[in-house]
Structure 1
């Protein structure tokens, strides 16, 4: 179901062919109905990163609800020989009826954190693998990079403006993920319509070049948008443009934007000029291939806000979170009462740990997290510790939806709980270690 207009949109073919061929073979062998547990985790964080950020859960829940095989999809699959008729008949009735738990959106995570636990029959759970990974790998990567940028900005607002640097729908998801981590606004209007992310934007250099002189361009923008607008001042000569902007708008001019040159040097010159002209409250916004390192380098500059595009929508060098979706437990038969036992890969370089897991964030008396404890038994949190899994889907029904602002507030709390080393931009290990505890079998 489209979240905006309510039309039926299926997500069933946003998947890899081998999910369907595994289903076909499992139905044929009689193993498709075995109760199974899959987990999503990252074996490691991108090189040098201290923490990751969970994002995309809300989008995933919508996508799971829309995972339906209708006539057109089944016709495509059968005509290509991907599924046979018995498999097509099974798919026609497909509805995920299992349970899903996960870290809520905005939460920080670390290597081997069990971000998502999917329990159901093998058949219904394995079909979700590609959908789960495509959404979470993208959104977690964007949110993890965006969080570093927010921390580097030290309270100064950021606008997400990467729509022209990525796929059109990835741009919408990126704007949503960035907002969770603290970005104030986005230039993407679909993200505003679909998810309620505040939007912002004024003009580009083409608007100035269109007019017969910078003065005419500024006057046209001010007449249309008012003195509170942001004027782009680096199309020709910055000093002359700032003078013209204040002459036309007066000291009430909202902001000027600088998009080129040595941003720190130019910002200091512009601030001095604005103050000399009496425009003490006019803000300075800088854009132009910024990333977290560029933002941090401008900490001492008189900058009031940043616009970030390419680096944000590409994960600032880590465009995927490298999450995997692995079977960690399964029953020996199709009977609902059959005991579930751990299973694990022994692949060289890619082993897994068997058993359904829970996670607890250990927190000391000062409110600082010091360990991520992952257990295969029932978790036993201390008085200050936090259980990290929340129910997302129960018996096939979505129960974990929440407003985007809740994820935004959670992220702020989660980052504040981390040790100070987590906020360093220099390369290093994860901010807290992941510890595994064999808790014995679950009841």
Structure 2
């Protein structure tokens, strides 16, 4: 017992040190890998056995790593082909500025749903909303909270979302059925968020937002409706419930065709774009649109690979058994969702990143559930959004830093609170009906 506590305490201190010193979390994760290896050796496992544990963990995440590579290529092509510029240019130009905070939430929700990436959304639509909102005189606090809420709407429930795929792979469930459950459990929280932003974010007077402020999009891209083809492919094939890898691959093919025939890109430019991301020669456009590519996913993929290797060790060494016992006690005294939510707050605060927090929460709580789909949606309604509410977590720090919003904006990210709290209330209501884990 003492060895387990000491191991987890040292790992937590390593993470805390990296946070305080603003050091890459990868260093703490590498150090954690060494630490857990030492613990396994203490438990009399050989180096060969430990290596097999690590490889078994990474093997479970191979599908995620492949999809991450595809998503990196796709987000670059959606930039280069004009898909994202088209959405931004034509959407921002028709909004009512009196409700710009609400529109920022809705626009970021839409783009994150289409792209499946919170970081990609905040780097495009999030920056656009912040830039335009500042021109309207809206405080950063309000814009930051609405944008943070919106970018994690799709990050949670898009068929292209890496977090949705991660949960699907961990729980061995169908991602499309998970999305259906996620949508169903988020209706009320979404309505509450829309109402909240409509009431609190309303401006009595402000200048008109026009497409002229974003004219460099029209000057840099051929914004024909054909550029929406990659997004249409994603939506159509998702409705058909095709395999996620096939869906993304088809959208990549559509993105390649659009980039060639609509934007006049060469094969060399396309390959370069898919590998290192879209790069614009226009400084103003580059500030908003540069990004994507396999290279942009490398750090996240490395985090997933290292985090995955932990779980082979955790399973064989039973390092998390005491925490599991504690979580079962919480579940017995409340509900299964309450236990998952409490564990997710702890893991998100300790791990500093959404991926590791999700894996830890899954590993600790999985034995509570016979129904894997319930476990999947509970994870999506807790740890996936809770990670964005931890100020020092990458899930919160990166988006807010990217758009230049204060950390206090987390307070205004009401959708991220409403979702777990609503499901917590419903779990207690359902427990009175005899089921502690109804979704």
Which bin holds the TM-score, normalised by the shorter protein? Answer: under 0.3
Q: Which structure has greater strand proportion?
A: 1
| TM-score, with length taken from structure 2 | 0.27
Q: Which structure has greater helix proportion?
A: 2
| TM-score, with length taken from structure 1 | 0.27
